[in-house]
Amino acid sequence: MPLFEYRCKECGHVTTFLEKPGSRKRHPCEKCGSAKTERQLSAFAAHGGGASSGAGASFPTGTCPLG
C-alpha cells in the first residue's frame, strides 16, 4: 500500500495517508481542515541505492522550481 503525502496550501501542514493506487479521494488537512491539499511524492517511495554521502540529493521542500 503506497503512502501519499498531502501538503496543505493554507497552513503548510503535511499529512501522510495510506491510499490505494488510482484512488482519487481528496483529503482535507487534518490540522486546519482546509480542502486545499496538494499530493506530494512520498519520500518513502523513493528508496535509493544506499549512498549516504551528502550529495545534496535530498528531497526539495517547498516550492516547485518550475512553478
The residues of the shown chain that bind Zn ion, judged by CB under 5 A, are 8, 10-11, 13, 29, 31-32, 34
Give me the least distance between CB of 66 and Zn ion, in Å please. Answer: 24
Considering the complex, state which of residue 48 and residue 62 has its C-beta at the smaller distance from Zn ion: 62
Edge-to-edge strands, sheet with 14-18: 14-18, 3-8, 37-40
Give me the least distance between CB of 14 and Zn ion, in Å please. Answer: 9
Considering the complex, state which of residue 26 and residue 65 has its C-beta at the smaller distance from Zn ion: 26
φ, ψ of residue 5 to 5 degrees: the values are -105, 135
d(CA 37, CA 51): 32
